[in-house]
Structure 1
Amino acid sequence: MLSMIKQQGAAADSRRGQALLLNISAGKGLQNVLKTNLGPRGTLKMLVGGGGDIKLTKDGKVLLHEMQIQHPTAALIARTATAQDDITGDGTTTNVITIGELLKQSERYLQENIHPRIIAEGFELAKDRCLAFLEEFKQSSHDTLDRELLISIAKTSLRTKLPAELADQLTEQVVDALLLIHKPEQPLDLFMVEIMTMQHRTDGHSSLIKGLVLDHGTRHPDMPKKLTNCFILTCNVSLEYEKTEVNANFLYKDHETRSRMIDGEHKLVAAKCRQIIELKNHVCDTPDKNFVVINQKGIDPICLDMLAKAGIMGLRRAKRRNMERLTLACGGTAMNSLEDLSPDCLGHADLVYEQTLGEEKYTFVEGVKNPFSCTVLIKGPTKHQIEQIKDALRDGLRAVKNTIEDKCVVPGGGAFQIAAYADLMKFKETITGRTKLGIQAFADALLVVPKTLAQNSGFDPMDTIIKLQEEYAKGHIVGLDIESGEPMDPVSEGIFDQYSVLKQVYRSSPIIASQLLLIDEIIKAGKGMRGSSVPEGQE
């Protein structure tokens, strides 16, 4: 009987060990996939869709979103990392490789029969100490709108996603775009920076438009294609025959009644159009002044013809977000009714013109005064390059936004990880018992970032870490120079990490790693798991 109980206990231990090994191997597997992407010298991944679509990227978020991950533990880590990107806009790859390294370092102690709970307790202590050290290590900036500092932040972010030459060119465009839309004492709204793509010329022709680019043109051949000194009316008014909101039917006795109803509708729409033309005639009192109508709803052919004869450029079915951007860029008010039309509701732009590229038409609104909205126009010869630049630009914009909101920066190039490792080693000596093993595992896991940066740059990871630690022991803030493999001062080189990204990485990664270590069995659940977590009948 006793031998049977022993066998059952051994089987339970075996199952627990298998679940742990499964989780650890999943974490290490995902880490191995993403770690080669880290840093400016990281490699690209080619994603191939079911239909043969190809995407080249080194962006961790894009990879984790597009990859088909079957393993439940790997999927959990991927969701944690993509949540990191949703919150801070960066740090996805760092999060994945940190979780993988925490599990990898824990495996050493688990093989020596250290209980996972003890390691998890060490992680918790180390996490609190690491975040407290981050508060000391960060460098507060009294002027976070300092252009040189923001350029350094944007350059650090963009160079991890794009070739250095292209990243340096886009850096100023990213910073200038954010400074344009910044309003004192108000949160930054990145939606006010439109990212427009044109498959045209080379990636070096990308530019910042201090205005707006709309991805459609005029719908009448006689309308002007280029206007200067323009008054701009943005409106959300139907200038076409509309069906009723509900499924109503109109009954008529004969063809004449039907014709009168249609004529009545056309007269109503034409009257609205005449109100716009009257306003144009009122404000455009000299030949050098022009008028543009940008409408969120439709404009029928009769109204388009009336506007064209009056010399008005009319655009229909503009995006709702563009209506908001237009009023912020050009001034004026977006009108929902034409009853209260007045010159005060008009915006102004020095130049509005249409550009045709193949079968696509684009309308440029430029030369606006004090714009609080702008457009980054991305050009490139291929769809792959354009998508790559677009992903990098989004990360660059978020990086600059984070810096402005954090009011501080953190020296980059692995400087924080080297310094935090040294601090945790001192902290470990103040802790008694086996919990210090968890702190040691956390400290060792921190070094995965500088090690990976060195490895991806073609240098020996251990030699590099020893050099960095020796230099830090002399009292210098030290990061890795990926060109030479030698220690360098990241502050003087202008290499900075974002405080909010590091804070989120080292807050979330030990929590997920601890939870994975404490899983002793993986059980297949029923179909009802997708619903409420409250058992049926106990709502």
Structure 2
Amino acid sequence: MAARMAGQPAYYSGNRNQRTRGHDAQSINILAGKAVANAVRSTLGPKGMDKMLVDSLGDIVITNDGATILKEMDIEHPAAKMVVEVSKTQDDEVGDGTTTAAVLTGELLTKAEELINKGVHPTIITSGYRQAAAKCEEVLGTITIDISPEDRTALKKVASTALTGKGEGELQMDLLSEIAIDAVLSVAEKTDSGYKVDIEDITIEKHEGGSIKDTELVKGLVIDKDRVRPNMPQRVDNAKIMLTSFAIEFNKIEKDAEIKITSPEQMQLFVDQEERMIKAKVDNIIQTGANVVFCQKGIDDLAQYYLEKAGIYACRRVKKSDMEKLARSTGATIVQDDTEILIEDLGYAESVEERDLKGTKMTFVMGCKDAKAVSLILHGGTTHIVDSLKRALNDALRVVGVCLEDGKVVVGGGATEVELAMRLRQYASTLKGREQLAVNGFADALEVIPQTLAENGGIDPIDILVEMRSQHEKGNKRAGVNVYTGKVVDMWDENVIEPLRVKTQAINSATEAAVMILRIDDVVASSGKSSAGGMPGSDVELGE
């Protein structure tokens, strides 16, 4: 450690740390961010390509969903992880537009690098980017289209846009769009301020077998479990449902213990006592009047026998998430102790039934106390198809839910980005400082979306961009690229519309991530413990 003398800064350094400073640090961070964005760029749009991801265990994921790709990739660089976080946040908040958010972040970093190389300070760039993002939000308010929650046609356009380019989801777009709308409307809660939608109320169960067109919406809960014994009733009407988080089996001795048995009679006493304990647990359940039991843990063979004799329908090893949904839907309380079971803990459903779905048995809980409980059963020829279908349908559910809550949409096909870019350039001309350069750079970055849509559709991006700019200059705010025909057309007429929140979230999160990366000028990375004589720690400047 160097001593502080004559106002000089003092430094403390670990012996095995790596440090990158100044322009080099910025260049490396920008390069990492751009690399992540480029990894998903080719998946954007209806004609985007898929990625095959194989993990260390050999499990395969085939998708063009930006958030899924980035989540499955093994990314270590801290700046690259920030771009992954942008995509994850977009997925959590809106469900769609994840690739757009990642690609936009990468392009903002690319334009910033060009300005840095010209001598513009990163602080000026970040200031300009923030002004541009604020202006985008203002402009978006002027080009949004209001839709009514009752306008099923508009909601179907939104769902179809989310499903477009999602592989298997595109094959049955009309069917899946209708299912998505019905599911969201079933769980939507009308409040004084509008609609509130919790997509978690929709249970999605996957089933390999059949075709995509067999996918169905069930007004109730579907639990991927069957009865523990075939002689239990297959269907229970007026179901009084008990939910238990404890195991219905003999309580094993947790501590190390040794039991000495010296005679057959003692052995018989031990077995009898075990049976009595199991029967006591079952009797506690029976006396409440429950005729259906969902257990989060195991059910002993003997307990199964007693439950069967009592005519109770029982399922074991039910997922915790399903238990919580059952509690929410049926009004039951999840019981944690078999000695404290009360009648008030029971939930209610009109019926509980085991059904055979092409060889797979599942439990259907219908007519729940909370009518908002709905389930989707997805069908497909292979595991990969069903997984892809689930991701596509999840996007459609989320965007329909966002539309119900906000009631505002914008057109897609790159039309919104070109309109924003044009308005930003007009705004930049009113600025006097160097921020003008950053705002123009932001405008250029936005145009990466229509460019990428054209590239992925096999169309010349320069011709398309020139034509789109010309149309927007003439006042055609909805002019976007139709990647199937290669023409610039009105996106509203083409039924390509997206929730406003998809755009605002993508622009804001991309801007924040780019600004954060650009403000870093010193990267200290620890490569392990310091060698003898040094203390573990990072390079830290202790100067004035």
With over 3 angstroms needed to count, the CA separation of the structure-2 counterparts of 1:260 and 1:90, relative to structure 1, is same
1:167-189 C-alpha deviation (Å, 9 max, x unpaired): 33222222222222223338533
Query: Which residue of the partner structure matches residue 11 of structure 1?
Result: none
Moved more, 118-127 or 106-115: 106-115
- How far did 1:506 drift? 1.5
Q: Would the aligned equivalents of 2:226 and 2:354 in 1 still touch at CA under 8 Å?
A: no
The 1:233/1:471 distance shift into structure 2, 3 A limit, reads same
Report SS of the residue matched to 1:347. strand
1:135 to 121, 137, 141: 141
1:151 aligns to 2:156 (yes or no): yes
Distance 1:271 1:112 in 2: 80
Say which SS state the counterpart of residue 524 (structure 1) adopts: strand
Alpha-carbon distance, 1:38 to partner: 0.6
Distance in 1, matches of 2:302 and 2:136, equals 68
> Counterparts in 2 of 1:64-103, with a 5 A limit?
64-103=70-109
d(CA) in 2 for partners of 1:341, 1:458: 66
Please report how far the alpha carbon of residue 199 of structure 1 lies from its aligned counterpart in structure 2 after TM superposition. Answer: 1.5
What is the DSSP-based 3-state SS (H/G/I as helix, E as strand, rest coil) of the residue aligned with 1:353? Answer: strand
Kept after mapping to 1: 8 A contact 2:243/2:332: no
SS in 1 for 2:250: coil
- Provide the residue aligned with 1:235 in structure 2: 243
Give the corresponding residue for 1:304.
304
Q: 1:254 to 1:123 in 2, by over 3 A?
A: same
The letter of the residue matching 2:213 is G
Moved more, 370-379 or 181-190: 181-190
DSSP 3-state at the match of 1:491: coil
Q: Contact (CA 8 Å) 2:243, 2:327: kept in 1 or not?
A: no
What letter matches 1:124 in structure 2? R
Aligned length: 510
Q: Following superposition of structure 1 onto structure 2, how do residues 293-372 of structure 1 map, counting pairs within 5 Å?
A: 293-330=293-330, 342=343, 345-350=346-351, 352-355=353-356, 361-366=361-366, 371-372=371-372
Is 2:189 aligned against 1:176? no
The equivalent of 1:26 in structure 2 is 32
Gapped runs of 5+ residues in structure 2?
1-19, 531-535
Tell me the CA shift for residue 448 of structure 1.
Answer: 0.9
Q: Answer whether contact 1:211 1:330 (CA < 8 A) is retained.
A: no
- Kept after mapping to 1: 8 A contact 2:21/2:523: no
Instruction: Report the CA distance between 1:73 and its aligned residue.
Output: 3.3
Whole-Å separation in 1 of the counterparts to 2:324 and 2:518: 49
Is 2:115 aligned against 1:109?
A: yes
- Given that residues 144 and 408 in structure 1 are in contact (C-alpha distance below 8 angstroms), is that contact kept between their aligned partners in structure 2? no
Residue in structure 1 matched with residue 279 of structure 2 by the alignment: 270
Please list the CA deviations of residues 305-340 of structure 1 after superposition, one character each: whole Å capped at 9, or x if unmatched: 233234432222322332332344456665566877
Q: How far apart, in 2, do the equivalents of 1:118 and 1:187 lie?
A: 40
Letter paired with 1:233: I
Give distance in 2, aligned partners of 1:102 and 1:333: 50
Work out whether 1:481 is the aligned partner of 2:459.
no
Greater percentage in strand: 2
What letter corresponds to residue 490 of structure 1 in structure 2?
M
Instruction: Report the counterpart of residue 3 of structure 1 in structure 2.
Output: none
Matches within 5 A, 1:56-67: 56-67=62-73
SS class of match (1:223): coil
In percent, how many aligned pairs have the same letter? 33
Contact 1:477 1:490 in 2 (8 A): no
Corresponding letter in the other structure for 2:412: G
Q: Deviations over 1:459-511 (max 9, x none)?
A: 22122222222222333331322322323333344322233332222123223
Q: Distance in 1 between matches of 2:324 and 2:29?
A: 47
**Could you tell me how far 1:247 is from its partner in structure 2?**
3.0
Residue 497 (str. 1) matches residue 503 (str. 2): no
Pick the aligned partner of 2:53 from 39, 43, 47: 47
TM-score, reference length from structure 2:
0.82
Aligned equivalents of 2:248 and 2:118: distance in 1? 77
Give the 3-state SS of the residue equivalent to 2:237 in structure 1. strand
Moved >6 Å (runs of 4+): 250-254, 531-535
Query: Aligned in 2, Cα 1:123/1:239: closer, same or farther, shift over 3 Å?
Result: closer
Stretch moving more, 411-420 or 34-43: 411-420
Aligned-pair CA distance for 1:271? 4.5
Partner residue, 2:166: 161
Match of 1:188 among 177, 197, 201: 197
Could you say which residue in structure 2 is the equivalent of 1:247? 255
Tell whether the 8 Å contact from 1:213 to 1:375 is kept in structure 2 after alignment: yes
- State the secondary structure of the residue aligned to 2:149: coil
Cα distance in 2 between the residues matched to 1:215 and 1:374: 14
Q: Which has the higher helix share?
A: 1
Does structure 1 retain, via aligned residues, the 8 Å contact 2:43–2:99?
yes
Q: Distance in 1 between matches of 2:167 and 2:401?
A: 19
Check conservation: 1:335, 1:345, Cα contact below 8 A: no
Change (3 A) 1:71 1:251: closer
Q: Does the residue aligned with 1:349 lie in a helix, a strand or coil?
A: strand
Q: 1:448-487 to 2 correspondence within 5 Å? A: 448-478=448-478, 479-487=480-488
CA RMSD of aligned residues (A): 3.5
* Cα drift, residue 155 of structure 1: 1.8
Structure 1 distance, partners of 2:243, 2:267, is 30
Q: 1:203 and 2:208 equivalent? A: no
Aligned-partner Cα distance in 1 for 2:372–2:353: 18
Asked if structure 1 preserves the Cα contact closer than 8 Å seen for 2:335 and 2:345, the reply is no
Q: Counterpart of 2:190 in 1: which secondary structure?
A: coil
Q: Which moved more, 1:496-505 or 1:421-430?
A: 496-505
Relative to the length of structure 1, the TM-score reads 0.83
Q: Tell whether the 8 Å contact from 2:215 to 2:376 is kept in structure 1 after alignment.
A: yes
1:402 counterpart residue number: 402
Residue 219 in structure 1 maps to residue 225 in structure 2: no
- Give the match for residue 374 of structure 1: 374
Verify the 8 A CA contact 2:37 2:83 in the aligned structure 1. no
Pick aligned residue for 2:42 from 36, 41, 46: 36
